[in-house]
Structure 1
Amino acid sequence: MAEISRTIREIRKRLAENQATFAKRMGVTQSTVSKWESGTQSPDTQSLLNLSEISGIEIGDLLEDDDHDFRRSDFGITVTISGSVQAGEWVEAVEWDSFQHFQVQIPTPKEWPDLDIQGFLVRGNSMNNIYPDGSVVFAVPVIKNRIRPGPGDRVIVERRDNRQLFEVTLKELGLDSEGELVLWPRSNDPRHQTPVRVGSKQPDDIEEVRITGVVVASFVLDRAARYLK
């Protein structure tokens, strides 16, 4: 939000207007302009259209350097899909290269707070009972937002092995017969039926297992999508 805040301030100063005068031009209150410029509130879609018309700057350019992974509008938020989740796929980097990133807009309740939301493309069959291959899941980082996932939550999991390679996967958090936390695949594929343990009980080649995000929304193709092939 820092970049759009600076841009709004620069547009106002270029017009040689104080916040009160600029607010009248924009059709909002001075308090709203103050919040935009301080970065505590983002302009809605209509305000962005007005800013674009006043400044001659395209909306995409107004938002291009915004430092959030998502952008809020009246219609929801725009989230960057920056990586994939796939059981058994070990890679050198958790995220894709930046040129592979793409953005999607998802409808969200207006009362949702401004949390960073990460998007992941689902690959493989380890969670295909819920998220078939090609689905997209949207997750909130747990450490940054002080979230403690519980049983039943679907979570993003990173495993690091002794080669310093990473597996980023999607699992459902649950409890085993001893009450210990485990990460369950939800799959009809016989290769994906064994849970991943959380904590110190790891295979010798696994150095770390950590939950990095909790899924808050998803995009899943309906079975009728087969008619489009």
Structure 2
Amino acid sequence: MSAVLTARPMANAATQSAHVETGQRIREARKRAGLTQKELADRLGVVQSVVSDWERGALESWRDYTDQLSRVLSVTHGYFAAGTSAQRGPLLAQELEVVGEVQGGTFRLAVEYSPEDRYVLPAIATPGYDRVPRRYLKVIGDSVNLEFPDGTYVCVVSAADTDVRSGDFVVVYARQGELREATIKQIMVEAEGRIALWPRSTDPQHQAPIYLNDDDQDAPEIAYVVIGAYKPVDRPAPPIRLPRARR
């Protein structure tokens, strides 16, 4: 259902100017993403006139949609901060943002970096996903080390933006009271039709699967699908070679 939003009053001319600048940034990012106002509105669950008002600087409620706008338009949160040159703008095509950490094989409290703690790494080639918002999650621990050793950055897309297939590695969220935990596992459809989430580890403690039960409201939820991985090589930089002095 589309949300109905009302405009917040502008405090003064400087504030209105800032909203106009932010609106221009939203419009530019939307066009770079190849989306119409209607398409962006549909992705966010609002009506088209709301996006139009955002882009004209007439509506401040875009602040309530910063996370969704950042994901859909593939920009950082700081991109929307008008007049702040220190904030990073839209991500370059050859970079992806690291937005958090995920525990391999074992559920652990989901770790999402605050916008100021996020950083970028070189993007990997992901054919077919160039128009889909992508991000990195850092894998922690050795409980999925057969595929993603500790310190690997997995490139993920939202499960809502792609299909999930047997054999995919997925990031799964589970609720523990008010807390949200996350892990990464390989999804497999077994012969009898059961859906299993398998760790892939050399550790004997991480060998048993978790089975999804559609009837269980507390069952783990597939949030992201892994489409690639980036593993930095821990190698010291080469020494600086100084020119020899002439004799």
TM-score by length of 2: 0.56
How far apart are residue 94 of structure 1 and its match? 4.8
What residue is the counterpart of 1:64 in the other structure? 88
Preserved CA contact (<8 Å) 1:125 1:192: no
CA distance in structure 2 between the aligned counterparts of 1:176 and 1:8, rounded to whole angstroms: 45
What residue is the counterpart of 2:167 in the other structure? 152
Please point out which of 109, 113, 116 is paired with 1:96.
113
Please point out which of 166, 187, 203 is paired with 2:201.
187
Using a 3 Å threshold, how does the CA distance of structure 1 residues 198 and 110 change in structure 2: closer, same or farther? Answer: closer
Using a 3 Å threshold, how does the CA distance of structure 1 residues 38 and 194 change in structure 2: closer, same or farther? Answer: closer
CA distance in structure 1 between the aligned counterparts of 2:220 and 2:127, rounded to whole angstroms: 34
What residue is the counterpart of 1:220 in the other structure? 231
What residue is the counterpart of 2:243 in the other structure? none
Preserved CA contact (<8 Å) 2:33 2:131: no
Partner amino acid, structure 1, of 2:88: E
CA distance in structure 2 between the aligned counterparts of 1:196 and 1:100, rounded to whole angstroms: 32
Pairs within 5 Å for 1:71-150:
71-73=91-93, 76=94, 78-86=95-103, 87-91=105-109, 94-108=111-125, 112-143=129-160, 145=161, 147-150=162-165
Preserved CA contact (<8 Å) 1:4 1:62: no
How far apart are residue 211 of structure 1 and its match? 0.6
Partner amino acid, structure 2, of 1:181: I
Q: In the TM superposition, what whole-angstrom CA distance separates every residue of 1:164-219 from its partner, at most 9, and x where no partner exists?
A: 222211111102342211111110101110111122476xxx92311111111101
- Aligned residue for 2:220, secondary structure, equals strand
CA distance in structure 1 between the aligned counterparts of 2:124 and 2:23, rounded to whole angstroms: 24
- Aligned residue for 1:6, secondary structure, equals helix
CA distance in structure 2 between the aligned counterparts of 1:110 and 1:151, rounded to whole angstroms: 19
Using a 3 Å threshold, how does the CA distance of structure 1 residues 180 and 4 change in structure 2: closer, same or farther? Answer: same
Using a 3 Å threshold, how does the CA distance of structure 1 residues 109 and 214 change in structure 2: closer, same or farther? Answer: closer
Pairs within 5 Å for 1:175-214:
175-200=189-214, 207-214=218-225
Preserved CA contact (<8 Å) 2:212 2:219: no
Aligned length: 166
RMSD between superposed Cα atoms in Å? 3.4
Using a 3 Å threshold, how does the CA distance of structure 1 residues 179 and 96 change in structure 2: closer, same or farther? Answer: same
What residue is the counterpart of 1:164 in the other structure? 178
- Aligned residue for 1:208, secondary structure, equals coil
Preserved CA contact (<8 Å) 2:108 2:183: no
- Aligned residue for 1:99, secondary structure, equals helix
**Overall identity of the aligned pairs, in %:** 25
Using a 3 Å threshold, how does the CA distance of structure 1 residues 90 and 165 change in structure 2: closer, same or farther? Answer: farther
Partner amino acid, structure 1, of 2:193: G
Unpaired segments ≥5 residues, structure 2: 1-20, 35-83, 237-247
How far apart are residue 110 of structure 1 and its match? 7.4
Preserved CA contact (<8 Å) 2:102 2:111: no
- The structure with more strand, counted as a fraction of residues: 1
TM-score by length of 1: 0.60
CA distance in structure 1 between the aligned counterparts of 2:99 and 2:171, rounded to whole angstroms: 13
